[in-house]
């Protein structure tokens, strides 16, 4: 995976990168970065390094799972906003036609006036249908259709291909990432969502129902020519894994044979943030799951994968001076 | 009355004591509790227990700074007992001997700013009253949880959401892999996240294993992505490979895919970057054409100008546009597959009735 990066990876100690998912600090902001419209936003950020964007833009990523309720939409919202916070321009597409929810998770439900259906019908232009997030203005949302409207999707997935083409040639520049939130199942909605994608993120939970669906979906994606598939294992409980009541992340990986983009621990904050319409990664202080989503977003940018996973909890060792905060 | 004296005297005696006590005094002097009784003065003035107070001018009345920390939550009756009314004739006439002694002490400590202020109360009550009114109103403002119309008030009323205001602040840490909440152990075998230490296990998946899985899946799932959706029962178009057709049942939401716009038009709509959207433009042009047609027709008819009908002209115009759009939005009604320019032909002509109004538009 490191070889895919545009810059040589010799700045990173091989030992560290092979053992852990953590990278040493590198001053990547000094490197020539793609001139883009969100320079002002970058200056607001207090990062002293940025992940290196690998691959060609726009990176069209479909987030899929097969089974419903495993966290596709949550992943789309959190990874999308994490990418936006990292300074990349993101267009997030809710391709879940009948049961769209991404707007709710992002707290943008009141701002969706036009959808792709209206764009195709000629009721509005594409730029009018894109809903810009006010928190991070380089994040935009596009819904495919309104919940109860009928779809003129006789064109199959062509509509999304046109959409990507149109976004590529837009005036303010091509977005770095186009995230497509795929509906559950492998029906027409799934076909529509994956048509324009170049790579896929498979979200799964460590249970056998989700894994069987995931394997099927990966098979279909591979048949369709999408080879770059990474998985996010969601709702992991290390305590249950320790008690052998839940498959470990490595077990999941053994069954599916996919590179790991992230491991998201079970976190009650996920439900709370969903209800608030405020994605987890914007929480202050960051929560466990929010940090994991940020790390996953970072790896997505660099086309990297996890080299190590957290397996169990250890009691924290307290030093002699720990009482004094040392 | 004993309560009054016992509470009010410490205040006066505390003046010579240095700044901290001054603060105490001043704080209580202007505390909202001082102001509050002023509000219910109108009520209490009519109460019989005010008879014990000699009231010459009832406009000004103040409660001595008796609000010690222990009686902040006193009920109004108790406060009533503790209050003193002072007249504004130039002399404070108080029916309390303890308070009188307090005022004499006040005069002794005139050099102290607070005592000066109190002296002013005794000498210039009307002026102080004005001041007190001002101070009171200020403190009433502050004592409220939020001013009406303020952002805090909007949040309280549920019009704004406190957690969604403004732009979220940038991250304070610089790296999701190395920050105060995420620390890697020295040996790279542990990680501490949010105060909990986890052991790290290396990922053992190799490229070969991935390839084995891919081969397994390619054997198990042989699939060709459909490129066209057809309703069950529809004929397959001649140029379409039957393997690429996704058959969907007639009651599926996707089955209502017959669109009133053709593929090229939809594509150009998605590609459109500037200008008026296609449908809006088409509707406008259609109405324009209809209008012109009507004008030409009426020129031939040579109808008389009727100003009354001219006003009615605008309304069916807009109504027609709406109705037209609704017809277009519902794909069930628009199975004909017509594109926009044919739309005006489908709609009833509402202008026939107001034909005479067209004369207004003519130059």
Find the range with the poorest average confidence among A1-15, B199-213, B214-228, B245-259. Answer: A1-15
Q: For residue B203, which residues of chain A lie inside 8 Å, CB to CB? A: 250, 253, 260, 305-309
- The pLDDT-based confidence of A315 (bands split at 50, 70, 90) is confident
Is the CB of residue A20 less than 8 Å away from at least one CB of chain B? yes
Q: Give the residue-averaged pLDDT of A269-294.
A: 87
pLDDT of residue A94: 94
Q: Indicate whether A3 pLDDT > 70.
A: no
Whether the Cβ atoms of residue B341 and residue B278 lie closer than 8 Å to each other:
no
pLDDT of residue A121: 86
Tell me how many helices (H) and strands (E) chain B has. Answer: 15, 5
Mutate to test the interface with B, among A109, A110, A147, A150 (most CBs of B within 10 A): A150
Pairing of strands A139-143, A59-64: unpaired
Count CB neighbours of B150 within 10 A: 12
Q: Give the residue-averaged pLDDT of B293-303.
A: 78
Is the CB of residue B280 less than 8 Å away from at least one CB of chain A? yes
Measured between alpha carbons, how far is residue B270 from residues A37, A192, A197, B256, B267 in Å? 22, 16, 18, 20, 5
Is the CB of residue A154 less than 8 Å away from at least one CB of chain B? yes
Q: Indicate whether B288 pLDDT > 60.
A: yes
Q: Give the residue-averaged pLDDT of B119-123.
A: 53
Q: Give the residue-averaged pLDDT of B167-191.
A: 69
pLDDT of residue A324: 55
pLDDT of residue A61: 97
Answer yes or no: do A188 and B261 touch at CB < 8 A: no
SS3 A34: coil
Write down the mean pLDDT value for chain B. 59
Q: For residue A286, which residues of chain B lie inside 8 Å, CB to CB? A: 181
CA–CA dist B147, B144 (Å, integer): 7
SS3 A63: strand
Is the CB of residue A21 less than 8 Å away from at least one CB of chain B? yes
- The pLDDT-based confidence of B289 (bands split at 50, 70, 90) is very high
CA–CA dist A148, B248 (Å, integer): 18
Write down the mean pLDDT value for chain A. 81
Q: For residue A162, which residues of chain B lie inside 8 Å, CB to CB? A: 266-267, 270-271
Name the A residues in 270-289 with CB < 8 Å from any B CB: 276-278, 282, 284-288
Answer yes or no: do B172 and A158 touch at CB < 8 A: no
Is the CB of residue B300 less than 8 Å away from at least one CB of chain A? no
SS3 A140: strand
CA–CA dist B205, B202 (Å, integer): 9
Give me the residues paired with residue B191 across strands.
B184, B198
The partner residue sitting opposite B176, judged by closest CB among A25, A277, A294, is A294
Q: Give the residue-averaged pLDDT of B33-54.
A: 40
Q: Give the residue-averaged pLDDT of B226-232.
A: 80
CA atoms within 13 A on the CB side of A242: 10
Whether the Cβ atoms of residue A234 and residue A77 lie closer than 8 Å to each other:
no
- B186 to chain A: closest CA residue: A16
- A191 to chain B: closest CA residue: B225
Is the CB of residue B105 less than 8 Å away from at least one CB of chain A? no
Here the tokens at position A263 are 């491991």
Q: For residue B222, which residues of chain A lie inside 8 Å, CB to CB? A: 223
Whether the Cβ atoms of residue A48 and residue A295 lie closer than 8 Å to each other:
no
Q: For residue B275, which residues of chain A lie inside 8 Å, CB to CB? A: 125
Those residues whose C-beta lies under 8 Å from the C-beta of residue B331, and which sit 6 or more positions away, are: A150, A152, B256, B257, B258, B259, B260
Q: Indicate whether B107 pLDDT > 90.
A: no
pLDDT of residue B177: 77
Here the tokens at position B273 are 């970057």
Mutate to test the interface with B, among A77, A78, A129, A154 (most CBs of B within 10 A): A154
Mutate to test the interface with A, among B182, B207, B215, B225 (most CBs of A within 10 A): B225
- A153 to chain B: closest CA residue: B257
Measured between alpha carbons, how far is residue B8 from residues A10, B19, B68, B92, B119 in Å? 80, 19, 9, 15, 16
- State the nearest Cα–Cα gap between A243 and chain B, in angstroms: 15
Which pLDDT tens digit goes with each residue over A131-174?
999 888 899 999 988 876 666 556 668 889 999 999 999 988 99
Name the B residues in 251-270 with CB < 8 Å from any A CB: 252-254, 256-261, 263, 265-267, 269-270
pLDDT of residue A132: 94
Q: For residue A16, which residues of chain B lie inside 8 Å, CB to CB? A: 188
Here the tokens at position B310 are 């001219």
Pairing of strands B190-193, B196-202: antiparallel
Is the CB of residue B137 less than 8 Å away from at least one CB of chain A? no
Q: DSSP secondary structure string, B159-213?
A: SS-GGG-SPPPPPSSS-TTSBTTEEE-TTSSEEEETTEEEEEEE----HHHHHHH
Q: Indicate whether B169 pLDDT > 60.
A: no
Mutate to test the interface with B, among A96, A125, A128, A262 (most CBs of B within 10 A): A125
Answer yes or no: do A122 and B178 touch at CB < 8 A: no
Residue A57 class from Cβ within 10 Å (0-12 exposed, 13-18 middle, 19+ buried)?
middle
Pairing of strands A139-143, A90-94: parallel
In chain B, pLDDT over 90 holds for what percent of residues?
A: 9
Here the tokens at position A265 are 């621990």
pLDDT of residue B20: 38
Give me the residues paired with residue B329 across strands.
none
In chain A, pLDDT over 70 holds for what percent of residues?
A: 79
The partner residue sitting opposite A48, judged by closest CB among B174, B205, B271, is B174
Measured between alpha carbons, how far is residue A107 from residues A75, A134, B216, B270 in Å? 15, 10, 42, 26
Which pLDDT tens digit goes with each residue over A29-47?
333 334 444 433 333 334 4
Whether the Cβ atoms of residue B67 and residue B34 lie closer than 8 Å to each other:
yes
Q: What is the largest CA-CA distance in chain A?
A: 70
pLDDT of residue B87: 39
**More confidently predicted of A261 and A9:** A261
Closest CA to A223 of B194, B221, B55: B221
Pairing of strands A259-265, B245-248: unpaired
Here the tokens at position B209 are 């294993």
Measured between alpha carbons, how far is residue B206 from residues A44, A215, B210 in Å? 40, 18, 6
Which pLDDT tens digit goes with each residue over B244-281?
888 877 766 665 545 566 788 889 999 999 999 988 99
Answer yes or no: do A277 and B266 touch at CB < 8 A: no
Here the tokens at position A61 are 């990523």
Whether the Cβ atoms of residue B40 and residue B76 lie closer than 8 Å to each other:
yes
CA atoms within 13 A on the CB side of B124: 9
Count CB neighbours of A17 within 10 A: 17
The partner residue sitting opposite A306, judged by closest CB among B190, B203, B272, is B203
Q: For residue A121, which residues of chain B lie inside 8 Å, CB to CB? A: 260-261, 266, 269, 279, 328-329
pLDDT of residue B135: 45
Read off the DSSP letter of residue A315: P
DSSP alpha helix (H) spans, chain A = 14-19, 39-44, 72-85, 102-106, 116-121, 126-129, 158-168, 188-195, 208-223, 238-242, 249-256, 268-276, 288-302
pLDDT of residue B303: 58
Whether the Cβ atoms of residue A149 and residue A61 lie closer than 8 Å to each other:
no
Where would I find the beta strands (DSSP E) of B295-356? none
Is the CB of residue B277 less than 8 Å away from at least one CB of chain A? yes
- State the nearest Cα–Cα gap between B172 and chain A, in angstroms: 7
């Amino acid at each position: 995976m490191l070889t895919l990066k545009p810059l040589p990876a010799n700045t990173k100690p091989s030992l560290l990168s092979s053992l852990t998912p953590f990278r040493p600090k590198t001053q990547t902001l000094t490197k020539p970065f793609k001139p883009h419209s969100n320079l002002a936003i970058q200056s607001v950020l207090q990062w002293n390094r940025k992940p290196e964007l690998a691959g060609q833009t726009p990176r069209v990523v479909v987030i899929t799972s097969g089974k419903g309720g495993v966290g596709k939409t949550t992943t789309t919202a959190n990874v999308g906003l994490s990418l936006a916070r990292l300074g990349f321009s993101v267009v997030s597409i809710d391709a879940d036609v009948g049961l769209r929810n991404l707007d709710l998770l992002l707290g943008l439900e009141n701002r969706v006036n036009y959808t792709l259906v209206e764009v195709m019908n000629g009721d509005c232009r594409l730029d009018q249908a894109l809903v810009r997030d006010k928190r991070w203005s380089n994040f935009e949302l596009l819904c495919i259709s309104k919940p109860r409207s009928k779809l003129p999707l006789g064109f199959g997935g062509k509509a999304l291909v046109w959409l990507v083409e149109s976004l590529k040639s837009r005036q303010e520049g091509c977005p770095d990432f186009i995230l497509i939130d795929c509906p559950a199942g492998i029906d027409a909605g799934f076909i529509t969502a994956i048509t324009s994608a170049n790579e896929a993120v498979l979200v799964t939970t460590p249970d056998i129902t989700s894994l069987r669906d995931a394997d099927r979906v990966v098979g279909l994606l591979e048949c369709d020519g999408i080879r770059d598939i990474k998985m996010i294992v969601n709702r992991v409980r290390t305590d249950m894994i320790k008690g052998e009541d839940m498959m470990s992340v490595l077990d999941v990986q053994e069954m599916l044979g996919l590179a790991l983009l992230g491991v998201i621990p079970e976190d009650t904050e996920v439900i709370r943030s969903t209800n608030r319409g405020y994605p987890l990664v914007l929480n202050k202080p960051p929560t466990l799951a929010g940090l994991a989503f940020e790390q996953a977003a970072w790896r997505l940018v660099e086309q990297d994968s996890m080299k190590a996973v957290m397996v169990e909890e250890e009691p924290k060792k307290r030093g002699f001076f720990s009482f004094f905060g040392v | 009355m004993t309560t009054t004296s016992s509470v009010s005297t410490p205040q006066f005696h505390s003046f010579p004591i240095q700044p901290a006590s001054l603060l105490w005094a001043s704080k209580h002097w202007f505390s909202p509790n001082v102001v509050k009784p002023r509000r219910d003065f109108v009520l209490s003035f009519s109460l019989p227990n005010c008879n014990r107070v000699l009231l010459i001018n009832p406009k000004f009345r103040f409660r001595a700074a008796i609000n010690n920390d222990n009686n902040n939550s006193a009920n109004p009756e108790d406060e009533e007992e503790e209050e003193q009314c002072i007249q504004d004739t130039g002399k404070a006439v108080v029916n309390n001997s303890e308070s009188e002694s307090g005022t004499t002490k006040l005069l002794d400590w005139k050099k102290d700013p607070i005592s000066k202020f109190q002296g002013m109360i005794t000498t210039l009550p009307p002026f102080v009253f004005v001041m007190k009114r001002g101070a009171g109103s200020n403190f009433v403002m502050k004592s409220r949880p939020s001013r009406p119309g303020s952002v805090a008030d909007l949040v309280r009323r549920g019009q704004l959401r406190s957690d969604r205001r403004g732009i979220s602040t940038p991250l304070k840490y610089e790296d999701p892999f190395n920050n105060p909440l995420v620390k890697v152990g020295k040996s790279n075998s542990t990680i501490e996240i949010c105060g909990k230490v986890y052991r790290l296990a290396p990922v053992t998946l190799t490229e070969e294993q991935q390839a084995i899985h891919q081969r397994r899946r390619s054997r198990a799932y042989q699939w060709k992505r459909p490129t066209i959706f057809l309703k069950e029962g529809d004929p397959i178009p001649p140029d379409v490979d039957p393997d690429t057709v996704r058959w969907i049942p007639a009651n599926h939401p996707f089955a209502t895919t017959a669109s009133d716009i053709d593929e090229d038009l939809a594509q150009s709509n998605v590609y459109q970057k500037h200008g008026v959207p296609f449908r809006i433009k088409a509707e406008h042009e259609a109405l324009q054409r209809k209008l012109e047609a009507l004008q030409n027709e009426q020129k031939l008819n040579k109808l008389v100008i009727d100003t009354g009908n001219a006003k009615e002209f605008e309304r069916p115009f807009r109504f027609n546009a709406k109705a037209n759009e609704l017809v277009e939005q519902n794909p069930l009604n628009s199975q004909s597959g017509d594109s926009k320019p044919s739309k005006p032909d489908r709609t009833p002509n509402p202008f026939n009735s107001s034909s005479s109004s067209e004369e207004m538009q003519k130059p």
